[in-house]
Structure 1
Amino acid sequence: MATKKKQLFSSTPQGGSGMMPWLGIAAIVILIDQLTKIAIQKTFVFREAKVITSFFNLTLTYNKGAAFGLLNDQPGWQRYFFTIVGVLAVGFIVYLLKRHAGQRLFCWALALIMGGAIGNVIDRVAYGHVVDFLHFYLSGVGDFPVFNIADCAICLGAGLFIYDELRRVNRQ
């Protein structure tokens, strides 16, 4: 088991497995993201919240802007801008996956980021905004921005990317 785990998250090339595993991971992220967004939209009305725990609600919100609602109040240009940024990012990620398909941890990070980016681009194209519903808060501290599965995948991918780079630097 430890050997499998080590191989799965190894940042060194392990033979030419190609891009299919990474595209598969991105597809799974997209599927989970879109299914959860559809379920929430069918179950909730805009701004409706359901308390799950003392620190977590499901709350349906829409974000026309970027992370943390940045530019959410703009007249609509951001929909096209962030859609184009997402598509360009996916193109660059595909290029990186082709060049580094054997670097497992790096590609895990890229696949998660790509799946999240595509999930949010789908929302922008289909609805004109991103559907968010995961709402964490701490009493005395306040609310965190509402987010979704795609955002989780992007953050996890970014964390893996940083971890992979730190491991690579420490090895040199």
Structure 2
Amino acid sequence: MSARKYYGRLAAAFGGPRWGWLALATGIVLADQGAKAWITSWLPYGASAAAAPFVNLVHLLNEGAAFSLFADAGGEQRYFLTVVALVVSAGLVFLLLRGEDTGRTALGYSLILGGAMGNAVDRILRGAVVDYLDLYVGSLHWPAFNLADSAIVMGVLLILLGNSGATRSAR
């Protein structure tokens, strides 16, 4: 199955190209918030539990950006990060409703939108983002993260892949 056909079916499954991508973003927000609600009710703050080899579940609060970037900036960055997330989200909603982007690019926009809104909800309600995934090898740990962070990273990668393909085909 071609990528165009696959992404077309994915969009159709969510109600059409425009609203389907927004439904996917909403699903990411709901899944992210559900996971955060579960982890905060199940695991005490600061605790960790082994989930699988190389994976711990943790309960941490992150005042910074994805992967704890700027977490030591003093706390005021949460307002800036919240505003940035809301402005970026508004722009992504506009792009998705415009309906000109399809395939990897639209899927990437949806993932970034869902991730940005999932973390923005946390910043608004909790003042910080709940992180709950800890990947490690031996004593080396990647900074804790969550589903929203993963969606943002995957979305950026899809957009870069989509644009690199467009650049090659334009040559």
* TM-score, structure 2 normalization: 0.89
Within 5 Å, which residues of 2 pair with 1:135-150? 135-139=134-138, 142-150=140-148
Gaps of 5+ in 1: none
Deviation string, structure 1 residues 106-153 (Cα, Å, up to 9, x no partner): 11000010000000000000000000001000126x110100010111
Gaps of 5+ in 2: none
8 Å CA contact 1:19, 1:101 repeated in 2: no
Aligned pair count? 164
8 Å CA contact 1:18, 1:102 repeated in 2: no
Question: Which piece of structure 1 moves more, 116-125 or 47-56?
Answer: 47-56
CA distance in 2, matches of 1:68, 1:151: 8
Question: Which piece of structure 1 moves more, 32-41 or 52-61?
Answer: 52-61
CA RMSD between the two structures: 1.8
Residue type at the aligned position of 2:44: V
8 Å CA contact 1:18, 1:101 repeated in 2: no
Give the C-alpha shift of residue 99 in structure 1: 3.0
CA distance in 2, matches of 1:114, 1:107: 10
User: Could you tell me which residue of structure 1 aligns to residue 163 of structure 2?
Assistant: 165
CA distance in 2, matches of 1:116, 1:50: 24
Give the C-alpha shift of residue 101 in structure 1: 4.1
Q: Secondary structure at the match of 1:47?
A: coil
* TM-score, structure 1 normalization: 0.88
User: Could you tell me which residue of structure 2 aligns to residue 75 of structure 1?
Assistant: 74
